[in-house]
Amino acid sequence: MIEVSRLTKCYMTHERGHTLREIAANLIRRPVREVRAVDGISFSVDRGEIVAFLGPNGAGKSTTLKMLTGVLHPTSGEASVMGMVPWRQRSAYVKRIGAVFGQKSQLLWDIPPIDAFYMNKAIYGVPEPAYRRTLDQLVELLDVGELIRKPTRQLSLGERMKCEFIMAMLHQPDLVFLDEPTIGLDMIAKERIRGFIADMNRQGVTFILTTHDLDDVEALARRAIVINRGEIVFDDELHVLRSRLGGRKAIRVTTETPLPDSPLPGVEIVRRTHALEADIEIDTAVLPLKRLIGELNDRYGIHDMSIEPLSIETVIKELYLGPVEQESAASTAGRSE
Ligand SMILES: Nc1ncnc2c1ncn2[C@@H]1O[C@H](COP(=O)(O)OP(=O)(O)OP(=O)(O)O)[C@@H](O)[C@H]1O
């Protein structure tokens, strides 16, 4: 469905002077700096997938999405989506895709969503019977019967997001780009939206999901593409990310005497939450759990303990960090909060 090859986007930005002399010099000539936001990325996505597209702030996610939705021309490289080049065949292309941006509404504030839906029907040229059928189905699935007749400004965030989804799905797109679709929602609303995405996916819709919410990823995606500084640093199934965690476990332990900075080999203090309480991480391949409990208890006296598997967030953070940042992150571990 999506084939991306060596896609690159460089922005040219004007350097701003800070000192008076620099500002005066800028009046005559402003130096230009190149920002390589996306640096030769290649990947493909099959029909029916939900792919999480992840990365830290400034990694190049939005720039990639803008190119794939046809809003932005790349500096170089190619993309073919459903046989079209997004930025060259925009008008035919937008009829086949949908987009939901958690931070940007596509509805109109003062009019009810139903009127905005009707406008989209006209823009996309959706025939009346197909429009009715899809609208009825979406309204029932998202349980928004009455809401769509209220002015958008009177809706709660969760209610509005449901309507944003209807707006994006009414023309029955084959591919939908989601950018932070559950941002700001409470747990119940998040669950509803996730359920809806999974339903649509079962009906054959492909989703590209950009989010900082790793619960969205765990709930929906089987595969993740991680981008950092414009380059892809991981592209595989989520279970491969999880397997990188190996036998590592996160433990919160309260002891009778304080833990030193290196309590035992294979144990890392991630955070001290209290003088006698710390979050530690262990590698059970180096130190089996049974030995950890025995030795911690003998040396420091265990008062309380809870053990959890590490979240996928940990591996992703490690992917985000380059070797230099990993070293400095390691040197700050163990500091009190
Ligand atoms: N219009 C622009 N002009 C110049 N530089 C830009 C422009 N848009 C983005 N950038 C730069 O390109 C890089 C990638 O930005 P982008 O918005 O694609 O990142 P992102 O991964 O979406 O980040 P976030 O998670 O914060 O939204 C950043 O360094 C950003 O400052």
What is the residue with the minimal CA distance to atom 27 of ligand 1?
A: 57
Given a cut of 70, whether residue 253 has pLDDT beyond it is yes
Q: What is the pLDDT of residue 324?
A: 45
Query: Rounded CA gap, 219 and 72, in Å?
Result: 30
Measured from the Cβ of residue 245, the count of other Cβ atoms closer than 10 Å reads 17
At residue 85, φ and ψ (nearest 5 deg) are: -95, 110
Mean pLDDT of the chain: 87
Q: 244: pLDDT confidence band, cut at 50, 70 and 90?
A: confident
Q: What is the CA(59)–ligand 1 centre distance, in A?
A: 7
The secondary structure of 113-168 as a DSSP string is HHHHHHHHHHHHT--HHHHHHHHHHHHHHHT-TTGGGS-GGGS-HHHHHHHHHHHH
Q: What is the pLDDT of residue 334?
A: 43
Query: Rounded CA gap, 317 and 314, in Å?
Result: 5
User: Which domains does the chain carry?
Assistant: 45-241 (3.40.50.300), 246-309 (3.30.70)
What is the residue with the minimal CA distance to atom 25 of ligand 1?
A: 57
CA angle 232, 234, 238 (to 5 degrees): 140
Q: Which residues line ligand 1 (CB under 6 A)?
A: 11, 13, 35, 37, 55, 57-63
Query: Rounded CA gap, 85 and 309, in Å?
Result: 43
At residue 95, φ and ψ (nearest 5 deg) are: -70, -20
State percent of the chain over pLDDT 70. 95
Q: What is the CA(255)–ligand 1 centre distance, in A?
A: 45
Query: Rounded CA gap, 86 and 321, in Å?
Result: 32
Q: Which atom of ligand 1 is nearest to the CA of 13?
A: 4
**pLDDT tens track for 161-190:** 889 999 999 999 999 999 988 888 888 888
**pLDDT tens track for 292-306:** 999 999 999 999 999
Query: Looking at residues 185-209, what average pLDDT do you find?
Result: 91
Contact (Cβ atoms closer than 8 angstroms) between residue 84 and residue 24: no
Measured from the Cβ of residue 86, the count of other Cβ atoms closer than 10 Å reads 23
Q: 333: pLDDT confidence band, cut at 50, 70 and 90?
A: very low
Q: Which residue has the higher pLDDT, 64 or 184?
A: 64
Record the tokens describing residue 335, joined without a space. 């500091």
Q: Which atom of ligand 1 is nearest to the CA of 55?
A: 21
**pLDDT tens track for 74-126:** 999 999 999 999 999 998 999 999 999 888 888 888 889 999 999 989 988 89
Q: What is the CA(62)–ligand 1 centre distance, in A?
A: 7
Q: What is the CA(65)–ligand 1 centre distance, in A?
A: 11
Q: Which atom of ligand 1 is nearest to the CA of 38?
A: 14
Query: Rounded CA gap, 302 and 255, in Å?
Result: 5
Q: What is the CA(57)–ligand 1 centre distance, in A?
A: 8
Q: What is the CA(37)–ligand 1 centre distance, in A?
A: 6
Q: Which atom of ligand 1 is nearest to the CA of 230?
A: 14
Given a cut of 50, whether residue 336 has pLDDT beyond it is no
Q: What is the CA(328)–ligand 1 centre distance, in A?
A: 25
Contacts of 104 (CB under 8 A, 6+ apart): none
What is the residue with the minimal CA distance to atom 29 of ligand 1?
A: 58
ipTM of this complex = 0.96
Pocket perturbation via mutation, ligand 1, pick of 11, 14, 232 by most ligand atoms within 8 A of CB: 11
Q: What is the pLDDT of residue 145?
A: 86
**pLDDT tens track for 271-330:** 999 899 999 988 888 888 899 999 999 999 999 999 876 777 777 777 776 544 544 554
